Amino acid sequence: MKNLVPVAAFAAISIALPAQASNPQHVQRLLQTGECVSCNLEGADLSGAHLIGADLRNANLQGAKLIETNLEGADLTGANLKNANLTSAFVTNAILNDSNMMNVNLSSVQMYNAQTFGANLEGVNIQNAEVYNSGIGVGGGEER
Protein backbone atom coordinates (compact mmCIF):
# COMPACT_ATOMS: atom_id res chain seq x y z
CA MET A 1 0.00 0.00 0.00
CA LYS A 2 2.93 2.37 0.67
CA ASN A 3 4.09 2.05 -2.94
CA LEU A 4 0.74 3.21 -4.33
CA VAL A 5 0.82 6.66 -2.71
CA PRO A 6 3.89 8.00 -4.56
CA VAL A 7 2.64 6.56 -7.85
CA ALA A 8 -0.80 8.13 -7.38
CA ALA A 9 0.74 11.49 -6.45
CA PHE A 10 3.04 11.39 -9.51
CA ALA A 11 0.11 10.48 -11.77
CA ALA A 12 -1.94 13.40 -10.44
CA ILE A 13 0.94 15.84 -11.04
CA SER A 14 1.54 14.46 -14.54
CA ILE A 15 -2.10 14.89 -15.49
CA ALA A 16 -2.28 18.44 -14.11
CA LEU A 17 0.69 19.71 -16.14
CA PRO A 18 -0.01 20.36 -19.83
CA ALA A 19 2.28 18.61 -22.26
CA GLN A 20 4.22 20.80 -24.66
CA ALA A 21 4.32 18.68 -27.77
CA SER A 22 5.56 21.21 -30.32
CA ASN A 23 8.95 20.66 -31.88
CA PRO A 24 11.21 23.67 -31.02
CA GLN A 25 13.14 23.28 -34.30
CA HIS A 26 9.86 23.46 -36.23
CA VAL A 27 8.81 26.64 -34.40
CA GLN A 28 12.20 28.22 -35.10
CA ARG A 29 12.08 27.20 -38.77
CA LEU A 30 8.61 28.68 -39.18
CA LEU A 31 9.59 31.98 -37.58
CA GLN A 32 12.81 32.25 -39.61
CA THR A 33 11.63 31.04 -43.02
CA GLY A 34 7.82 31.24 -43.04
CA GLU A 35 7.72 27.62 -44.19
CA CYS A 36 6.84 24.60 -42.09
CA VAL A 37 4.98 21.98 -44.15
CA SER A 38 3.76 19.04 -42.03
CA CYS A 39 5.43 20.50 -38.93
CA ASN A 40 4.51 19.66 -35.36
CA LEU A 41 3.49 22.97 -33.81
CA GLU A 42 0.99 21.47 -31.36
CA GLY A 43 0.47 23.79 -28.40
CA ALA A 44 3.05 26.31 -29.71
CA ASP A 45 2.68 29.93 -28.64
CA LEU A 46 2.89 31.94 -31.86
CA SER A 47 0.95 34.92 -30.50
CA GLY A 48 1.70 38.15 -32.32
CA ALA A 49 3.86 36.43 -34.96
CA HIS A 50 3.95 37.82 -38.49
CA LEU A 51 3.30 34.72 -40.59
CA ILE A 52 2.30 36.55 -43.75
CA GLY A 53 2.25 34.08 -46.64
CA ALA A 54 3.48 31.23 -44.41
CA ASP A 55 3.36 27.71 -45.83
CA LEU A 56 1.74 25.62 -43.10
CA ARG A 57 0.18 22.91 -45.25
CA ASN A 58 -0.67 19.82 -43.19
CA ALA A 59 0.93 21.34 -40.07
CA ASN A 60 -0.25 20.22 -36.65
CA LEU A 61 -1.33 23.40 -34.85
CA GLN A 62 -3.68 21.66 -32.44
CA GLY A 63 -4.13 23.82 -29.34
CA ALA A 64 -1.69 26.44 -30.65
CA LYS A 65 -1.90 30.05 -29.46
CA LEU A 66 -2.16 32.32 -32.49
CA ILE A 67 -3.54 35.35 -30.66
CA GLU A 68 -3.12 38.54 -32.72
CA THR A 69 -1.07 36.58 -35.27
CA ASN A 70 -0.94 37.86 -38.84
CA LEU A 71 -1.76 34.94 -41.15
CA GLU A 72 -2.50 37.05 -44.23
CA GLY A 73 -2.11 34.90 -47.33
CA ALA A 74 -0.94 31.88 -45.30
CA ASP A 75 -1.57 28.40 -46.71
CA LEU A 76 -3.01 26.15 -43.99
CA THR A 77 -4.45 23.54 -46.36
CA GLY A 78 -5.03 20.32 -44.42
CA ALA A 79 -3.70 21.81 -41.17
CA ASN A 80 -4.96 20.59 -37.80
CA LEU A 81 -6.08 23.68 -35.87
CA LYS A 82 -8.34 21.83 -33.43
CA ASN A 83 -8.73 23.86 -30.21
CA ALA A 84 -6.36 26.58 -31.47
CA ASN A 85 -6.81 30.15 -30.24
CA LEU A 86 -6.84 32.73 -33.04
CA THR A 87 -8.39 35.55 -31.02
CA SER A 88 -7.90 38.87 -32.84
CA ALA A 89 -5.83 37.20 -35.57
CA PHE A 90 -5.67 38.61 -39.10
CA VAL A 91 -6.61 35.83 -41.56
CA THR A 92 -7.19 37.68 -44.83
CA ASN A 93 -6.73 35.70 -48.06
CA ALA A 94 -5.62 32.63 -46.09
CA ILE A 95 -6.22 29.13 -47.41
CA LEU A 96 -7.82 26.81 -44.84
CA ASN A 97 -9.19 24.20 -47.23
CA ASP A 98 -9.61 20.72 -45.74
CA SER A 99 -8.31 21.93 -42.37
CA ASN A 100 -9.59 20.75 -38.99
CA MET A 101 -10.88 23.88 -37.27
CA MET A 102 -12.99 22.07 -34.69
CA ASN A 103 -13.49 24.26 -31.59
CA VAL A 104 -11.17 26.99 -32.89
CA ASN A 105 -11.50 30.34 -31.14
CA LEU A 106 -11.92 32.96 -33.87
CA SER A 107 -13.36 35.64 -31.58
CA SER A 108 -12.56 39.16 -32.77
CA VAL A 109 -10.72 37.71 -35.79
CA GLN A 110 -10.53 39.58 -39.08
CA MET A 111 -11.12 37.02 -41.80
CA TYR A 112 -11.66 38.29 -45.32
CA ASN A 113 -11.65 36.19 -48.51
CA ALA A 114 -10.31 33.11 -46.72
CA GLN A 115 -10.87 29.73 -48.37
CA THR A 116 -12.49 27.15 -46.10
CA PHE A 117 -13.66 24.50 -48.57
CA GLY A 118 -13.93 21.11 -46.88
CA ALA A 119 -12.83 22.49 -43.50
CA ASN A 120 -14.31 21.07 -40.30
CA LEU A 121 -15.85 24.15 -38.69
CA GLU A 122 -17.72 22.38 -35.88
CA GLY A 123 -17.80 24.39 -32.66
CA VAL A 124 -15.95 27.43 -34.08
CA ASN A 125 -16.29 30.55 -31.89
CA ILE A 126 -16.82 33.64 -34.08
CA GLN A 127 -18.02 36.06 -31.40
CA ASN A 128 -17.25 39.67 -32.43
CA ALA A 129 -15.48 38.37 -35.55
CA GLU A 130 -15.34 40.22 -38.85
CA VAL A 131 -15.83 37.48 -41.42
CA TYR A 132 -16.45 38.37 -45.06
CA ASN A 133 -16.51 36.07 -48.07
CA SER A 134 -14.94 33.19 -46.16
CA GLY A 135 -17.57 30.47 -45.88
CA ILE A 136 -17.97 30.80 -42.10
CA GLY A 137 -21.39 31.89 -40.85
CA VAL A 138 -21.67 34.84 -38.50
CA GLY A 139 -24.71 35.35 -36.28
CA GLY A 140 -27.73 33.27 -37.23
CA GLY A 141 -25.71 31.26 -39.73
CA GLU A 142 -25.31 34.18 -42.11
CA GLU A 143 -22.03 35.54 -43.36
CA ARG A 144 -21.49 39.29 -43.14
| Domain ranges, ordered by start, for the chain | 21-133
Whole-model pTM: value is 0.81
CATH architecture designation of domain 21-133: 3 Solenoid (2.160)
Per-residue pLDDT of the chain (144 residues; tens, 9 = 90+): 454 444 444 333 333 334 457 999 999 999 999 999 999 999 999 999 999 999 999 999 999 999 999 999 999 999 999 999 999 999 999 999 999 999 999 999 999 999 999 999 999 999 999 999 998 864 333 343
d(CA 116, CA 144): 15
**C-beta separation of 106 from 128 below 8 A:** no
Distance CA 59, CA 64 (A): 11
Amino acid at the residue 67:
I
